[in-house]
A and B are shown apart, each in its own frame.
Chain A
Amino acid sequence: MKYDNDIPTQAGDLQAFFDGELEGPDAERMARSVEADAELRAHLGQMTLMRDLVGRSMEMRAAEVPRARFEQIWDEIDRTISEDARSVEAPASFWQRVWSAIRPFRVPAFAAVAAAAVAVVVLRSGDAPPVNQEPEVASVPRSAEPAPPDAKVAPGPASIPAPAIAESFPSPRAADAEIHGIEFGGKQGRISHTGVVTVLYVEEDAATQKSERSL
């Protein structure tokens, strides 16, 4: 037998003999040596005793564990086995499997989609017609800014969302404009025939605010 380190050959062979690792002529030779040599027999006796002691000490320690603790362990094993069985009986749907398969690519894919979406929005906003550029001009007057404590701000227009206004007015052709004026909140506005709406917000203590919005 070959050893990695400098173990005495006879001691190594005796150990291998004791552990049942010697075969054939080597085993027979060592058996004859043990039979003839009392010291080798004593060595074997020591190794046998050590094995018994180690085994018995561990058994003693194992006997100290209460039965209930092993029952708990079994319950946990049983639960895990049942979960395994359920997962085998009910395989994941196609979409669940696809979702699992792309797990490593989810974050970069979502990042790419988000970047593309932002790019599309930016590009489209650059091509948009002027009508949608500044909707907040007509719907959010300056009265949205902090007003003096005694100022009375005309209610209404500021709370109407701009897109709703834009959608509520038909796109007029220049010659078909029929609306000549707007009146709300006790205030008046005038609409010109060129399609430009002029809304006047009159406040008691402040100068008239004027904004224009192209229809």
Chain B
Amino acid sequence: MVPTDADDHTLVEAAKSGDRRAFQLLFERYERKVYAVAYGFLRSQEDALDVVQDAFIKVFRYLPNFEGQSSFYTWLYRITANLCIDYLRRNTRKKDVEFDDKLRHDGDPESSPVDALPASVLGSPGEAVENKEILTAVEDSLKYLSDKHRAVIVMRELQGLSYADMAKAMNCSKGTIMSRLFHARRNMQKLLRERLEHLPEPSEDGAEEPQTEAALP
């Protein structure tokens, strides 16, 4: 019986030899990460959970063919990305804006993206990633990206897939992926800036301005 803290390679080998418990440990280790990726693509909890289920079933079926040339999670994420892209192709959702790759962010591509995110709101990067309102704004911004732009953002920023793997998954050239990623990042910054502008700026000591009591006479 494999220990619960065994590394991925050990669990994969045990699962290959029929150890169902080892495979369950792999599932428990990656279930939320795979869900996060699927949710990033699909924006629906139930659809994302369906993809989690399909991804692990597919992984188990193809486990005998997995030779370990890449890490298990890279392989798992690639399968998840492919399932999500297939899902999006089957259920093409119509978007009013930015579905077409040619629709770009406003402004000159040469312009500096440094201005895109208001530093006064974000504070330090460490504070920003702990701020729930900022994270909600990020999620809302992702929602307004096109499926293609969101796909490259999720595959790159969440999954860390290479340009070659992304090109394979999206059935396009590496150059297209690079361009798509560039514009997706610009769009994301623009959308996020619009949402962050409405957030209250943190006070001097880093705490947010009180909203209710301060407004009362």
Q: Does B178 contact A (CB under 8 A)?
A: yes
Secondary structure of the A side of the interface? helix
Write the chain B residue with the least CB distance to A53: B138
State how many angstroms separate the Cβ of B93 from the closest Cβ of chain A: 19
Determine the chain A residues whose CB is within 8 A of the CB of B20 once the complex forms.
Answer: 78, 81
Residue contact B110 to A62, C-beta cutoff 8 Å: no
Given A4-B179, A73-B52, does the pair A65, B24 have CB atoms closer than 8 Å? no
Residue of A5, A8, A42, A45 with highest tally of chain B CB at under 10 A? A5
Determine the chain A residues whose CB is within 8 A of the CB of B188 once the complex forms.
Answer: 50, 54
- In chain A, residues 31-72, which have Cβ atoms closer than 8 Å to a Cβ of chain B? 39, 42-43, 45-63, 65, 69-70
Residue contact A77 to B182, C-beta cutoff 8 Å: no
Q: Does B11 contact A (CB under 8 A)?
A: no
State how many angstroms separate the Cβ of A211 from the closest Cβ of chain B: 70
Given A15-B178, A73-B49, A77-B56, does the pair A43, B39 have CB atoms closer than 8 Å? no
Determine the chain B residues whose CB is within 8 A of the CB of A1 once the complex forms.
Answer: 178
Comparing B65-73, B83-91, B151-159, B207-215, the segment that makes contact with chain A is B151-159
CA distance in complex: A46, B113 (Å):
8
Determine the chain B residues whose CB is within 8 A of the CB of A4 once the complex forms.
Answer: 173, 175-176, 178-179
Q: What band does the interface of chain A fall in when counting residues whose beta carbon is under 8 Å from B?
A: 35 or more
The interface size of chain B toward A, counting residues with CB under 8 Å, comes to 59
CA distance in complex: A86, B75 (Å):
27
Determine the chain A residues whose CB is within 8 A of the CB of B110 once the complex forms.
Answer: 8, 11
CA distance in complex: A55, B138 (Å):
10
Partner of A15 from B23, B31, B142, B182 at Cβ < 8 Å = B182
Determine the chain B residues whose CB is within 8 A of the CB of A8 once the complex forms.
Answer: 109-110
Determine the chain B residues whose CB is within 8 A of the CB of A55 once the complex forms.
Answer: 157-158
Residue contact B24 to A74, C-beta cutoff 8 Å: yes
Write the chain A residue with the least CB distance to B110: A8
State how many angstroms separate the Cβ of A103 from the closest Cβ of chain B: 23
Residue contact A3 to B125, C-beta cutoff 8 Å: no
Partner of B109 from A7, A63, A84 at Cβ < 8 Å = A7
Residue contact B27 to A19, C-beta cutoff 8 Å: no
Residues of A within 8 A of B (CB): 1-8, 11-12, 15-16, 19, 21, 39, 42-43, 45-63, 65, 69-70, 73-74, 76-78, 80-81, 84
Would you list the 9 A-B pairs with minimal beta carbon distance, nearest first? A58-B36, A57-B135, A4-B175, A62-B36, A57-B138, A62-B32, A5-B179, A56-B129, A54-B157
| Selected A-B contacts with CB under 8 Å, 11 pairs | A7-B179, A16-B163, A19-B156, A43-B112, A49-B125, A58-B154, A59-B32, A62-B36, A73-B53, A73-B56, A84-B61
